[in-house]
Amino acid sequence: MSSYNRFPKTELHDCAGHVWTGYDSIIDQLRSSIKEDCVLAVETYPGVFDDEIIPEIQKLEPDLFINTMDLFPSESELTDRMRPFLTDDRVFGRMCYGEIRDFMNTDRIIQAQEKIQEAAGLVIVYGFGASQICSYDRLVYLDLARWQIQLRYRAGMSNYHCHNSSEDILRKYKRGFFLEWRIADKQKQRLLGHIDYLIDTNEIDHPKMIDGELLNRGLKQTVSGPFRLVPYFDPGVWGGQWMKKVCNLDPEKKNYAWSFDGVPEENSILLACDNTVIELPAMDAVLAYPTQLLGPDVYARFGAEFPIRFDFLDTIQGQNLSLQVHPTAEYIHRQFGMAYTQDESYYILDADPGAAVYLGLKEGVNSEEMLSALRASEKKGGTFDAEKYINRFPAAKHDHFLIPAGTIHCSGAGAMVLEISATPYIFTFKLWDWGRLGMDGKPRPINVEHGSHVIQWDRTTPWVKKNLVSPTVKLHEEDAYTEEHTGLHELEFIETRRYWIRSEVHLDTENTVSMANLVEGDEALISSDEGKFEPFTVHYAETFILPADIGRFTIQAVGKPIGVIRAYVRKPVM
């Protein structure tokens, strides 16, 4: 078994009296903390199981209970209000930058506020948007990880205020991604720092509550040193076998296709409080302490978003990924309302003999002919001769292929890819999927028309070889380590550096966040040159975050030499 840690935790101290487990303990603590004449706002993230929680909250015996679900319009009217963001597309919507109250019924809010004004005793306002209805004396936040929401969708959960349990999972996810989660995170950012109690609702019937003081202390401690996110893994039609062994996964599963091990929007963090572990969306740390984590330059440029992502794509003993292209910055902004696009790269962690990456167009490709062939394969279920049009490059361990938006690409079978990319992660225009069905037995979505608008037809063989295929440059070498520049392309905002460390290397965050992975060797020890954090251990293939605030740090090889790849946002050229 490898040393890969699937459940990394931030260990907190002095937790006694700050954490409660189970509804009986939680309700007793809430009862003891509220006054007889009090307004208690219980804000929920969409995806929380209201039917489980409301009966427990009502044990507080409020004199007035208001459920914000009743302050929204009917399901059909709510969907109509959302329609400009939902679109008719199966996968892609448009980003919503509005507020929760934009989708609520104003008259019903006014009526609720009048009832609250007239009420005596305990008033509880419960639900999505509860904290926006009126001023309150106490605030409880019910939180939930993004991955858990997706699992609930698969199990039949509907979107908020919907009865769409049997709807296509991709459409449920779209409603969450483009709308529900956007307005919920916007609201959450305002509330973090003012929450009296947060309840972790990830485990059904096993809630865990942490008070605001320890919550903020835990989030601050997390971003005060290197930390890891909680990875998750999922199968796929093209999935491989490499992650099973390296990441200590269930060997009985057919395959594992991909993993998010460095995507704060999707992954969680764990706060270990004595014998209780609180799971929070990693975005809570980004929203609570964006300057300390991201650094002032990155925060000024991207806001409270984490602009870099690391994930795994496993095709070893698997199949090719879909042939695909990502939107250009102009197209993603105009079409989907995103501020930046899905630039990426493939770092080859491991490879079987004969592994390859498809990248860029061959010389002399006729665009209309190729698009016609792609459309025909989509509509008629025929084949598409990928190698007639697309370059196929051999892929070996530690190669790095750069993929600026608009470049046709896919990983072939036999490769273990560490994808180093900008954070947008669902904007993949599949052009050809090798004639196969998805895990659900249905055709996977093909997006030739979207792709036709963004393919960069001038990215042909000579340009791709020169600019995108493992452009490694040695920057520094001494007995202790070697530093190399491996990309990304100048069209992309992410810089990557690789360090071959024989003993240790001293580095500086230069006040900007980094994400990194141990791509070679068994173990690394990261320590602060200024005593800002406790030494932090990383194992092979683990992704870790280096917050901007940590300053000067050292990466030391433990045992045999190691390799580390590090990504960060380039500073603008002045």
pLDDT digit string, tens, across residues 549-567? 999 999 999 999 999 999 9
Residue 441's pLDDT band (boundaries 50, 70, 90)? Answer: confident
Helix (H, G, I), strand (E, B) or coil at 246: helix
Q: Is residue 238 part of a domain?
A: no
Q: Which residue has the higher pLDDT, 549 or 488?
A: 549
Decide if pLDDT at 465 tops 70: yes
pLDDT band at 574 (very low <50, low <70, confident <90, very high): low
* Mean pLDDT across the chain: 96
Last residue of a domain, one of 467, 498, 528: 467
Residue 178: predicted pLDDT: 97
Half-sphere exposure of 510 (CA within 13 A, CB side): 9
φ/ψ of 391, rounded to 5, equals -65, 145
End-to-end CA distance of the chain: 49
SS3 318: coil
Q: Using an 8 Å Cβ cutoff, are 110 and 233 in contact?
A: no
Instruction: State which residues form the domain around 418.
Output: 258-268+282-467
Residues 188, 295 share a domain: no
User: Is the pLDDT confidence value at 381 over 80?
Assistant: no
Please give the average per-residue pLDDT across 429-455, as a whole number: 91
Residue 185 belongs to some domain of the structure? yes
Evaluate whether residue 360 is within a structural domain: yes
Domain match, 411 and 517 both:
no
Q: For 400-430, what is each residue's pLDDT tens digit?
A: 999 999 999 999 999 999 999 999 889 999 9
Of 451, 446, 453, give the one whose Cα is nearest residue 380: 446
pLDDT value of residue 382: 74
Residue 16 pLDDT > 70, yes or no? yes
Q: Cβ neighbours of residue 196 under 8 Å, at least 6 residues apart?
A: 33, 138, 139, 140, 211, 212
Work out the number of other CB atoms within 10 angstroms of the CB of residue 376.
14
Contacts of 540 (CB under 8 A, 6+ apart): 2, 3, 4, 246, 518, 520, 521, 522, 523
pLDDT at 1 over 80: no
Residue with tokens 């999972």: 169
Cα–Cα dist 342/333, whole Å? 11
What b/e readout covers 255-271, taking b as 16+ CB neighbours within 10 angstroms?
bbbbbbbbbbbbbbbbb
- Same domain? For 85 and 186 the reply is yes
Could you read off the pLDDT of 184-235 as tens digits, one per residue?
999 999 999 999 999 999 999 999 999 999 999 999 999 999 999 999 999 9
Helix or strand or coil: residue 568? Answer: strand
The answer to whether the CB of 269 falls within 8 A of the CB of 285 is yes
Say what the pLDDT of residue 573 is.
61
Check whether residue 463 and residue 477 sit in a common domain. no
Same domain for 211 and 175: yes
493-536: per-residue pLDDT in tens?
999 999 999 999 999 999 999 999 999 999 999 999 999 999 99
Instruction: Report which DSSP code applies to 179.
Output: I
Last residue of a domain, one of 423, 446, 467: 467
Q: Encode pLDDT of 125-181 as tens digits.
A: 999 999 999 999 999 999 999 999 999 999 999 999 999 999 999 999 999 999 999
What is the model's pTM? Answer: 0.96
The predicted pLDDT at position 222 comes to: 98
- Whether residue 336 is predicted with pLDDT greater than 60 in this model: the reply is yes
Instruction: Reply yes or no on whether the pLDDT at 68 is more than 70.
Output: yes
pLDDT at 322 over 70: yes
Residue 482 and residue 443 share a domain: no
Answer yes or no: do 57 and 176 share one domain.
Answer: yes
- Among 11, 572, 550, which Cα is nearest to 278's? 11
> Is 194 within the bounds of a domain?
yes
Tokens encoding 538: 């990383």
pLDDT at 19: 98
Strand blocks (E) in 111-160:
122-127, 138-143
Please tell me the total count of domains within the chain: 3
Average pLDDT on 304-309 reads 96
CATH, residue 78:
3.40.50
Q: Which two tokens stand for residue 424?
A: 């947008």
Q: Are residues 515 and 462 in the same domain?
A: no
| pLDDT value of position 440 | 80
Q: Are residues 352 and 417 in the same domain?
A: yes
* CATH classification of the domain holding 538: 2.60.120.10
Give burial (CB, 10 Å; 0-12/13-18/19+) of 518. Answer: buried
Q: Using the 8-state DSSP alphabet, how is residue 244 labeled?
A: H
In the three-class reduction of DSSP (H, G, I as helix; E, B as strand; rest coil), residue 341 is classed as coil
431 lies in a domain? yes
Helix, strand, coil % in the chain, rounded to nearest 5: 30, 30, 40
pLDDT in tens, 242-298: 999 999 999 999 999 999 999 999 999 999 999 999 999 999 999 999 999 999 999
